[in-house]
Structure 1
Amino acid sequence: MMRTDGYLLDHQQTETGQRSDAFATLFDPTTFRHMASFGLGSGWRCWEVGAGDVSVISWLAKKVGPTGKVVATNTDTSWVTSPPRAPVEVRVHDVGVDEPPGEGFDLVHARLTLAHVAHRERALHSMIRALRPGGRLLVEDADLALQPLACPEESGPEQHLANRLRHAVRTLLADHGVDPSYGRRLPRLLREAGLRGVEAGAYFPVASPACAALESTMIRGLRAQLVSAGLATDEEIDRHLTNVASGTMDVTTVPLISAWGRKA
């Protein structure tokens, strides 16, 4: 039911494609904007930590070109459906346990990854150690506790149920070692790790078809765990999925905190 790296949602589930598409639609523009601001370009060496789909990897590969390199790592690489082509290299790797897959990287990036890693501090220092002097680290993670509602405007029973299920998801994740407040701590953690010029920002989509799609795939993927933990019933989940599919609710995602800095 849960992968050994702390993820409750694995890459084998039928919803994976829909979930990846929703993540890309919602968060790729923010991620790419930050990366572009670093001057990312031809010849850069990049490490994508916790890679779970191809959108960020493909964008990086186009930016670094044939003289660059993109190393994509995860404990589960079953999402790779065809052999990667240069400059991309995919490796099985646990960022909280294994040594970095190289050194001298110009950019190291992790999105929605570290909050799920058991050895977060070791993982963060491993990522920084892999950077060249002056290299950039970009860490992006959610903060479930910062905005815990699925529907900020609780105008009826549908929104009330959505918010109750979002609370149940937060409880489930916390029980499995996921840090629900990790996002807000990122700026301090990067400064304390010795990075220079640390900055951070937040992205919080309030309503879009991608938000609804992500909500549906998340709840379907966690249904068995929510029910077995006594946090929700099948009837409640079915009702909520019907409500989301109706398109009448403004469903939000969890705020994404992006923090970045430069290795001295």
Structure 2
Amino acid sequence: MERDTASEGGYLLSNAQAEAGARFGALSELFDPSTFRHFDALGVAPGWHCWEVGAGGPSVPARLAQRVGPAGRVLATDLDVSWLPAGAGFEVLRHDVGEERPPGEGFDLIHARLVLVHVPRRDEALAAMVSALRPGGWLLLEEADPALQPLACPDESGPAQRLANKLKHDFRALMAERGVDLAYGRTLPRRLRAAGLTGVAADAYFPVTGPACARLERATVEQIRARLTAAGLATDEEIDAHLANLDAGRLDVATSPMISAWGQRPG
């Protein structure tokens, strides 16, 4: 996951924070099945060359490495590669997709999940990824759309749920201040068409509740706690109460819909 350098405050959910590991684990449990389903549909096969952009953790590049086998290649890049182990069957490279040229070309598949929305020069990054595809290669982009479903608890049935939704609103305010486009996910299909890709299609995945949703919520709130309080958006008492509600199992915490869009470079 790329880090946002659009402001001095930096990316709200930095890979360098200790909570990043918990977030990666929850994101993997929630969204890897959907991502892998798209890999299956696009026909990822032995011998393919794949670029995993803003990998964050190892789960997605490791799965791709299993699929492409020893005859293939998987390159995992990120601004912070500290969560990507060496010798796991894929290559690791520190790379800024918004500022640097692609680390190669002729890729059969390029995939980015929860990356572009945080990149200040996201249009340039998308163009760079398209340029690195081989003719007939596939680009798969996946971005959450918090504006499409802005609530932590869609079933706002009581004070605990109202508090969760208040904190989610505060988090969205912090993201917007840093140039995050909260409605970017739904724009992916037209952006892929505008980039010249064909066969463009998209779908969405929307977990509504479950243990992984609660773990993701806790890790996210813990990562942004200091920023919420420093900005005067939330108090420590509110955050402590919300975390206690999570631990007590009182909340059905949802995620924002994950929009997956894909298209093929004409061959």
**TM bracket (short chain):** over 0.9
How far did residue 155 of structure 1 move?
A: 0.5
Aligned match of 1:214: 216
14-23 vs 29-38, which deviates more?
14-23
TM-score (norm 1): 0.96
2:24 matches 1:23: no
Cα displacement string for residues 87-142 of structure 1 (whole angstroms, at most 9, x for unaligned residues): x1111111011000000000000000000000000000000000000100000001
The one-letter code sitting in structure 1 at the alignment partner of 2:87 is P
- The answer on whether the counterparts of 2:62 and 2:88 sit within 8 Å (CA) in structure 1 is no
Aligned match of 2:64: 60
How far did residue 203 of structure 1 move?
A: 0.4
Hey, what's the Cα distance between the residues in 1 that align with 2:30 and 2:86? 27
How far did residue 14 of structure 1 move?
A: 2.1
Partner SS state of residue 185, structure 1: helix
Hey, what's the Cα distance between the residues in 2 that align with 1:228 and 1:44? 47
- Spell out the pairing of 1:149-188 with structure 2 (5 A cutoff): 149-188=151-190
The one-letter code sitting in structure 2 at the alignment partner of 1:93 is H
How far did residue 74 of structure 1 move?
A: 0.7
Partner SS state of residue 48, structure 1: strand
How far did residue 4 of structure 1 move?
A: 2.8
Hey, what's the Cα distance between the residues in 1 that align with 2:246 and 2:232? 22
Q: What is the count of residue pairs matched by the alignment?
A: 261
Aligned match of 1:225: 227
1:72 pairs, out of 53, 76, 80, with 76
- Spell out the pairing of 1:96-107 with structure 2 (5 A cutoff): 96-107=98-109
Partner SS state of residue 210, structure 1: helix
- The answer on whether the counterparts of 1:84 and 1:90 sit within 8 Å (CA) in structure 2 is no
Hey, what's the Cα distance between the residues in 2 that align with 1:232 and 1:85? 41
Hey, what's the Cα distance between the residues in 1 that align with 2:53 and 2:86? 18
2:178 matches 1:190: no
- The answer on whether the counterparts of 2:218 and 2:243 sit within 8 Å (CA) in structure 1 is yes
Hey, what's the Cα distance between the residues in 2 that align with 1:195 and 1:66? 29
TM-score (norm 2): 0.95
Root-mean-square deviation (CA, aligned residues, Å) is: 1.2
Hey, what's the Cα distance between the residues in 2 that align with 1:141 and 1:190? 13
2:5 matches 1:4: yes
In structure 1, runs of 5+ residues without a counterpart are none
Aligned match of 2:46: 42
- Spell out the pairing of 1:82-161 with structure 2 (5 A cutoff): 82-86=85-89, 88-161=90-163
Cα displacement string for residues 12-61 of structure 1 (whole angstroms, at most 9, x for unaligned residues): 22222211110011000000000111111100000000010010011000
- The answer on whether the counterparts of 2:47 and 2:72 sit within 8 Å (CA) in structure 1 is yes
Partner SS state of residue 203, structure 2: strand
Hey, what's the Cα distance between the residues in 2 that align with 1:164 and 1:150? 9
Hey, what's the Cα distance between the residues in 2 that align with 1:39 and 1:139? 16
Cα displacement string for residues 194-251 of structure 1 (whole angstroms, at most 9, x for unaligned residues): 1101000000000110000000000000000111111111110000010111112110
Hey, what's the Cα distance between the residues in 1 that align with 2:52 and 2:187? 21
Hey, what's the Cα distance between the residues in 1 that align with 2:107 and 2:33? 22
How far did residue 7 of structure 1 move?
A: 2.3
Partner SS state of residue 81, structure 2: coil
- The answer on whether the counterparts of 1:190 and 1:261 sit within 8 Å (CA) in structure 2 is yes
Partner SS state of residue 226, structure 1: helix
In structure 2, runs of 5+ residues without a counterpart are none
How far did residue 3 of structure 1 move?
A: 5.6
Hey, what's the Cα distance between the residues in 2 that align with 1:3 and 1:117? 6
Hey, what's the Cα distance between the residues in 1 that align with 2:80 and 2:248? 34
The one-letter code sitting in structure 2 at the alignment partner of 1:62 is Q
